[in-house]
Amino acid sequence: MYRDFSNNMTVKNAHDFLDEMKKKGPTPELMSKIGTHFDKAHMSEALKSRGIDLTSASGGNTPEWVGVGVTAAASAA
């Protein structure tokens, strides 16, 4: 079942986002959480704990950081 994210931006929310993305793909409801429930720093930390370096994967400052991170996380599963 879809987790109801809190309104606080956290690394936990980024982990939950990645888990849900791997299960169901990029649903509109899930994608609406980007930038409101976690930011680049949270996603970077979540990916780093999964062995993925977002900075090198995305070039560091590209606006596609979420897509790159999610793609990398999904392929590492």
Residue 1 — pLDDT band, cuts 50, 70, 90? Answer: very low
Q: Rounded to 5 degrees, what are φ and ψ at 56?
A: -75, -30
Residues near 69 by beta carbon (within 8 Å), at least 6 away in sequence? 18, 43, 44, 47, 52, 54, 57, 58
Residue type, 16: D
Residue that the structure tokens 């609406």 belong to: 32
pLDDT, tens digit, 9 for 90 and up, residues 19-75: 998 888 888 898 888 888 888 888 889 888 988 776 655 455 445 556 656 666 665
Residue type, 1: M
| Per-residue confidence (pLDDT) for residue 11, from 0 to 100 | 93
Which pTM was predicted? 0.65
Regarding predicted confidence, which is higher, 52 or 9?
Answer: 9
Six token digits for residue 29: 């409801």
Whether 12 has a pLDDT exceeding 90, the answer reads: yes
